[in-house]
Amino acid sequence: MTEADIVVRIRDASVEIPLRGVKGGALGADPRIIQKVNGSLVLRALDKISLEVRRGERVGIVGGNGNGKTTLLKLIGGMLPAVGGSIEVRGSIRTLLTIGAGTVPALTGRQNVRMRYSLLGIKSISVDEYIADVAEFSELGAFFDMPIGTYSPGMQSRLQFAMSTVEPADILLLDEWIGVADHAFQVKANNRLEKYIEKNEGFLFASHNAELLQRMTDRTLTLQNGKIISDEASALSISSPA
């Protein structure tokens, strides 16, 4: 592995989440709850994580509820700061973490898509092509021109998935988001992700869906209590180009 292959490098980084309003009695309830010198309590959701991800790797992140999967994706996506250590991310990132994140409910789907085009700084296609692609893929019909505050969670996830996957990125960060979309859209979204794999795009995917992970990832990180307890290569079931 050469230096140029590395897209994510994390060294000894932790993430601490302030526990506002939680009393000292919580100490001892969970080894991740620690008291700062000013007396406040924090939850060390990630504890001195070290990780390198290569360009094109398809990394599954597993572990029980509350073990730090989403926190790790947010750390890589720049949505949470690291405490100590270092984090380096090279290249473009697309995130599909929280339903509704980065969208404006009062604006229509079309207006949100136009805004996202500018925010992503897309150069390979025109704004009209981008909007047409998202409109077609998300299949929202007349709702595309309605405020997204009127969308169901599944409709929002359709729009967000479509916006984030038009143009390849160096890294796509996916949380267990797809469950809210209906089965037909899940199949379509999986097909689009598989095309990403064919283009050798990398992603990190937190999920409890073992079958999906086995199909789509070639490396599995297991998190427990904010630590990586295993990091294993796995065979990718779908074919990728030589």
Residues that bind ligand ATP (CB under 6 A): 17, 19, 43, 45, 63, 65-71, 206
Nearer to ligand ATP, 43 or 113 (CB): 43
* Residue 19 C-beta: closest distance to ligand ATP, Å: 6
Nearer to ligand ATP, 69 or 158 (CB): 69
Nearer to ligand ATP, 10 or 134 (CB): 10
* Residue 108 C-beta: closest distance to ligand ATP, Å: 30
Nearer to ligand ATP, 162 or 221 (CB): 221
User: Which DSSP string do the residues of the chain spell out, in sequence order?
Assistant: --GGGEEEEEEEEEEEEE-TT--GGGTTTSTTEEE-TTS-EEEEEEEEEEEEEETT-EEEEE-STTSSHHHHHHHHTTSS--BSSEEEE-S-EEEE-STTTT--TTSBHHHHHHHHHHHHT--SS-HHHHHHHHHHHHT-GGGGGSBGGGS-HHHHHHHHHHHHTSS--SEEEE-S-GGGS-HHHHHHHHHHHHHHHHTT-EEEEE-S-HHHHHHH-SEEEEEETTEEEEEEE---SS----
If we measure between CA atoms, which residue out of 200, 191, 197, 205 comes closest to residue 162? Answer: 191
Nearer to ligand ATP, 43 or 189 (CB): 43
* Residue 67 C-beta: closest distance to ligand ATP, Å: 4
Nearer to ligand ATP, 131 or 223 (CB): 223
* Residue 222 C-beta: closest distance to ligand ATP, Å: 11
* Residue 228 C-beta: closest distance to ligand ATP, Å: 12
* Residue 182 C-beta: closest distance to ligand ATP, Å: 21
* φ, ψ for residue 32, nearest 5 deg: -85, -10
